[in-house]
Amino acid sequence: MVKKSHGYRARTRSLMSKKPRNRGISPLGPMLIEYKEGQRVNIVIDPSMHKGMPHRRYQGRTGVVKGMRGRGVVVEVSLGKATKTLIVRPEHLRPNKE
């Protein structure tokens, strides 16, 4: 028997893959957005950028910006009863529309 893979991106074949027309380098717009403290953001993982990528369990979740740490944004996300603090690069964030 082959051992089961427990890697960071295990079982993400469809979750972290781009559609054929969107493949390649992403546009610069989302990377240049400045986030302010208290702003709500959606975590949308960009699979073409590996740096500052959050774990796949946070894909599609909404969090609150708590500050900046270098080039990364500190985001607080609720996960069940717990609140998690993530350091995510802006390529993987989108401002919440609500």
pLDDT in tens, 10-64: 888 888 889 999 998 888 998 899 999 999 999 999 999 889 999 999 999 999 9
Alpha-carbon distance 45 to 20, whole Å? 17
| Residue 51: alpha-carbon gap to chain centroid | 10
pTM of the model: 0.88
Tokens of 77: 């996300």
Return the CATH number of 20-95, one of 3.30.1490.20, 3.90.550.10, 2.30.30.70, 1.10.3720.10: 2.30.30.70
Which of 24 and 76 is assigned the larger pLDDT?
76
**Residue 9 has what pLDDT?**
86
